[in-house]
């Protein structure tokens, strides 16, 4: 399976990607997570990307395309792209590199998104995300026990810039994939399990 998960900041791409990848043993390729890793390691690429990401802007296409295509090649059992492509030109490059089976567009009303973003806590190591309401044993990762962090771009101000960038640069991809007959839009404004079930039904895998 070769999947793309699309949706605005806070839509639940990472949350659903984690569930679907576990279920089907897919490689979870998240450009946001990969870029945050580069920033944490202070690599030359990370140093260039930090200011853009922390301000809610996209990094240049050439910074992510090579990184993603390398990871796709080593994914033996298929992959799920989370946060890539993010511009029509990235989508065109992806079409040149490989054939995608389905593009899942997670649709959530914009008024829900800021609230989700400011309530999010992230594990810096496992990249698992939590809503603060789920953290009955304190702000630590359930998988590795590390203290959770608030992403630098998860302030209301930067989130609004991210929504603006999404509407301008990323939303046009929806039509690109609709025209190719690959788009599956799901209602992301339901519980995490209900959204997962809708994705599975849409993929024809409701019994998986
Ligand atoms: P990235 O990390 O991809 O951020 P994003 O697209 O803004 O999306 P988020 O990770 O914020 O949200 P999500 O949809 O994953 O939601 P989540 O599951 O966490 O990218 C970050 C930055 O990197 C970009 O701004 C850009 O600068 C750069 N970048 C990345 N890729 C790039 C590319 N290809 N080209 C150029 N630049 C790139 O859920 C959010 C919260 O809601 C969580 O707390 C979760 O618990 C909760 N939640 C999830 N589902 C539900 C539900 N159904 N009900 C209630 N709560 C829910
Ligand atoms: Mg994410």
36 pLDDT more than 90? yes
Dist. CA 35–CA 45, nearest whole Å = 8
Do residues 84 and 90 touch, judged by C-beta distance below 8 A? Answer: yes
Nearest ligand to the C-alpha atom of residue 5: 1
Q: Is any atom of ligand 1 closer than 6 Å to the C-beta of 14?
A: yes
Atom 43 of ligand 1: nearest residue by CA position: 120
Taking the centre of ligand 1 as the mean of its atom positions, its distance from the CA of residue 30, in whole angstroms, is: 9
Secondary structure of residue 155 in the 3-state scheme: coil
pLDDT at position 65 is: 96
Dist. CA 55–CA 137, nearest whole Å = 32
When the pLDDT of each residue in the chain is averaged and rounded to a whole number, the result is 96
Could you identify the atom of ligand 1 that is nearest to the CA of residue 60?
36
- Residue 28: phi, psi to the nearest 5? -90, 105
Question: pLDDT tens digit string along 14-32?
Answer: 999 999 999 999 999 999 9
Q: What is the DSSP string of 80-104?
A: EEES---SHHHHHHHHHH---SEEE
pLDDT at position 148 is: 96
Do residues 27 and 21 touch, judged by C-beta distance below 8 A? Answer: yes
Whether the ω angle into residue 85 lies within 30 degrees of 0, i.e. cis, is: yes
Q: Is any atom of ligand 1 closer than 6 Å to the C-beta of 7?
A: yes
Could you identify the atom of ligand 1 that is nearest to the CA of residue 106?
14
Extract the tokens encoding 136.
């009955």
Q: Could you count the other beta carbons within 10 Å of the beta carbon of residue 185?
A: 16
- In order of 34, 93, 105, the CA distances from 96 in angstroms are 22, 5, 21
Dist. CA 33–CA 82, nearest whole Å = 9
Determine whether 162 is an active site residue. yes
Atom 34 of ligand 1: nearest residue by CA position: 84
Q: For the whole model, what pTM was predicted?
A: 0.97
pLDDT at position 137 is: 84
pLDDT at position 207 is: 75
Question: pLDDT tens digit string along 90-128?
Answer: 999 999 999 999 999 999 999 999 999 999 999 999 889
Unique residue bearing structure tokens 């995608």: 100
2 pLDDT more than 80? yes
Q: Is any atom of ligand 1 closer than 6 Å to the C-beta of 15?
A: yes
Active-site residue, selected from the candidate residues 13, 36, 93, 116:
13
Do residues 20 and 201 touch, judged by C-beta distance below 8 A? Answer: no
């Amino acid at each position: 399976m070769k999947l793309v998960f699309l949706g605005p900041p806070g839509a639940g791409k990472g949350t659903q990607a984690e569930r679907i990848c576990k279920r089907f043993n897919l490689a979870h390729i998240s450009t946001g997570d990969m870029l945050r890793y580069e920033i944490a390691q202070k690599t030359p690429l990370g140093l260039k990307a930090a200011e853009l990401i922390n301000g809610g802007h996209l990094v240049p296409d050439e910074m992510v395309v090579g990184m993603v295509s390398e990871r796709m090649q080593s994914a033996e059992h298929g992959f799920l792209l989370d946060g890539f492509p993010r511009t029509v030109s990235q989508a065109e490059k992806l079409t040149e590199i490989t054939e995608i089976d389905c593009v899942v567009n997670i649709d959530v009303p914009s008024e829900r998104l800021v609230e989700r973003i400011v309530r999010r806590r992230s594990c810096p190591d496992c990249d698992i995300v939590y809503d603060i309401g789920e953290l009955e044993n304190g702000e630590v990762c359930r998988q590795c026990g590390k203290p959770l962090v608030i992403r630098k771009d998860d302030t209301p101000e930067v989130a609004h810039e991210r929504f603006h960038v999404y509407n301008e640069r990323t939303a046009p991809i929806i039509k690109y994939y609709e025209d190719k007959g690959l788009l599956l839009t799901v209602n992301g404004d339901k519980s995490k399990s209900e959204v997962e079930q809708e994705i599975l039904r849409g993929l024809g895998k409701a019994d998986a």
